Amino acid sequence: MPKLLVKHPEQGEITFKLTGDRITVGRRADNTIQINHGTISGHHAELVSVNGHYVLRDLDSTNHCFVDGFQISEADLNERCKLMIGTIECEYLPDPEAAKLAGAEASMPSTSDSDALRKMVGALRHQNDELIQKVSEQQKQIDILGSARLLTPATGADLESLRGKVKSLTTERDSLAKENRGLLAEVDRLRAIVALSGEPGTLKSTIRIPPPDETAEIHLPTVAVSASGGTTVAAPVARVVDPQIATFAAMTGLSGRITPIIDNLRADPGAKAAKEELATVCTQLSEKGTAVNGHTTARLANAIDALTRDVCQRSFPVAPRILDTVAQAADLLGRALSAELLPKCTELAAPNVLVVDDDKDLLPAILASLEFARLSASGCGTASDAMASVQANPCDLVLLDISLPGTDGLDLCTQIRALPKHERTPIVFITGHNDAQNRGQGMLNGGNDFISKPFNMFELTLKAHVWAVKNQLGLA
């Protein structure tokens, strides 16, 4: 009978007999083999009987599975081998090997041989652990570069350098946009002066007749009839409308079209026509937002467009969590464009976001993405640094890794909530793919939302926009 030998750092060695067609391994009590340890996911892996032997499959765990030092998603277990489930060392013992092991125990080598063997095993184990660490770090780099997709083809780019370039380009872009808005305002002022002069020829050559959705309204000439029967034709009167009014009206109409398309994609996530329509509408929404560049609604529109263009150009169906995020953002944009909230949106500065994550590779990638999306972002890797930051500098949103060393994200959330000025500050947890138990506990501890690794960086920035703006508008 095959066996799994688990070398738990606290409970010692535990041997499990493997019987049945499917054996689940994880931290939760409903698994066939429960390993209660912080690096083990709730449902971490499974052993499935195939043609007389077992196959080990990783269930999208946070800390992965390794066979003889190599990370695997699925591996055949035909002979005795060393497994790493999370950071827990295990051994797989097939039936014949289990018998050999029992025979070996009956004829143990001498004490000196045992000491030499132990030293050799210790050295090999140390080398193997180093290799596992290197492989894990390389895989982490690949995952980050694959999922972050930071709008640059330089796969080895220095993220700190990227952040500096992003800041410089953003400043230049905002300066040009401000200059452009000033020129447009001057053109509108000159048009109004010409219109008031009452000179039809000058008016005709200066004021173009716009479509109904643009920024000027032209009233037709007025014909007056005198008592003697003569007629007088007055010059056309032009009334110049604030260009932002027409822009916000167009954005309101476009944002309202998103929800029905989302409903269609919920019914058929792979519908090509619906994906194309969603991408088109969101692109038009972003283009309209360029007229009010830097405005809260324009930033939301840009973030929606970035995510939808990214996912809709792919051949596979749009994930339900992506649809939920886009629907949530479209609803907020519609509310922000309302007569009640639009004046308040005009006064809002770019939100401040605090990112708390001990992953030294992922943290700068998140910060660079947020800053590129025109959010003000800062980061730290420990709970103590996070508490010092929120106490010293108010923020509009906290993105919080749920698995921090020492004080974990759940406890840190409770501590942040105890601060009077952060009782209602939105907290979005960054969690593992199968970390449903922690996500549920996070919501009970005061969290507002979560995003699971691995995530699309456009999804993260859109979710950050939504919760930060909600907080600024008092809707969180």
Q: Is the pTM of this model over 0.75?
A: no
Q: In angstroms, rounded to a whole number, what is the distance separating the alpha carbons of residues 220 and 210?
A: 13
Q: In angstroms, rounded to a whole number, what is the distance separating the alpha carbons of residues 309 and 317?
A: 13
Copy the structure tokens of residue 362.
């992922």
Copy the structure tokens of residue 416.
């942040």
Taken in order of first residue, the domains within the chain and their CATH numbers are: 3-101+120-145 (2.60.200.20), 350-476 (3.40.50.2300)
Residue 192: φ, ψ to 5°: -65, -40
Residue 290 DSSP code: G
pLDDT (tens place) for every residue of the chain, 476 residues total: 899 999 988 888 899 999 889 999 999 989 999 998 888 988 999 999 988 889 999 998 888 888 887 888 888 888 889 999 988 999 999 876 444 554 444 444 444 544 555 555 555 555 555 555 554 455 445 444 444 444 443 434 455 565 566 566 666 655 555 655 555 555 555 555 544 544 443 333 333 334 444 444 444 444 444 455 454 444 444 444 456 787 888 899 999 999 999 999 999 988 999 999 999 999 999 888 888 877 899 999 989 998 998 888 888 899 999 999 999 999 999 999 998 999 898 888 889 999 999 888 888 888 888 887 888 899 999 999 999 999 988 899 999 998 888 888 888 888 998 898 888 899 999 887 555 555 555 566 678 898 887 788 889 999 999 999 999 999 97
Which pLDDT score is estimated for 208?
A: 37
Which pLDDT score is estimated for 230?
A: 52
Which pLDDT score is estimated for 164?
A: 63
Contact 425, 416 (CB under 8 A): yes
Residue 217: φ, ψ to 5°: -115, 130
Residue 85: φ, ψ to 5°: -110, 110
Q: What is the amino acid identity at position 227?
A: A
Name, in order, each residue with C-beta under 8 angstroms of 16's C-beta and a sequence gap of 6 or more: 3, 4, 5, 6, 33
For the beta carbon of residue 377, count every other beta carbon within 10 angstroms.
24
Of 123, 48, 35, 47, nearest to 87 (Cα)?
Answer: 35
Copy the structure tokens of residue 223.
């014909």
